Amino acid sequence: DLLGISKNLGQGQTDRGSEFVHGVKNIQGKDPWNAGRCIHGEPSEAEVQPDRDLGKSIKPNCRNVVRKEEDCLRSFGVPTVRKDIPNKEFRSVADYQNYGDEPEAVDLLFPSNYSEVGIQEQDFRSPRTRQEIKALFEKVGYQ
């Protein structure tokens, strides 16, 4: 069975033994530098240790340092859902801000059964008067 080993494909080559290598041998001389050593290198113990500034901002004026006592609970940065700016009545297509009224990712992946006809989930949960319910039933033909 020749599974997993090279075989003669009938091109006139004889069996040259398991030590035969096509091309130039990789190891030459006393200090062999091969492809594996090029990829992995030979780092020292100090080079393998994590950097001192790992996880810290080293950019000037962007260090999130609390300078006042009242800022100890301050959140730095901008929130993902922007509740600090007013929601616009008519938004531009180029407005990428999330004002908190956008659908969740799960709603985009698995939309509701009635979304094709323009009915949202909140339409089922909103309270209705007796007259509205009666009008709905009359529209579908139920008396």
pLDDT at residue 64, rounded to an integer? 64
pLDDT, one tens digit per residue, over 98-137 is: 888 888 888 889 888 888 888 888 888 899 999 999 998 9
How is residue 111 written in tokens?
A: 């939309």
Model-level pTM?
A: 0.31
Q: What is the largest CA-CA distance in the chain?
A: 99
Q: Residue 125: name the closest of 114, 134, 137, 116 by CA.
A: 114
Q: Residue 21: name the closest of 10, 34, 30 by CA.
A: 34
Kindly tell me if the per-residue pLDDT of 85 is higher than 90. Answer: no
Strand-pairing partners, residue 81, are: 98
Q: Are 3 and 10 in contact (CB under 8 A)?
A: no
pLDDT, one tens digit per residue, over 2-47 is: 677 777 676 666 777 777 777 766 666 677 777 778 888 888 999 8
The helix (run of H) or strand (run of E) holding residue 44 is none
Distance separating alpha carbons of residues 80 and 78, to the nearest angstrom: 7
Kindly tell me if the per-residue pLDDT of 48 is higher than 70. Answer: yes
Task: List, in order, residues 6 or more apart from 105 with CB less than 8 Å away.
Answer: none
pLDDT at residue 111, rounded to an integer? 87
Region 72-97 average pLDDT? 83
pLDDT at residue 8, rounded to an integer? 67
pLDDT at residue 128, rounded to an integer? 92
**DSSP string spanning 90-118?**
S--TT---B-S-SPPHHHHHS--TTGGGT
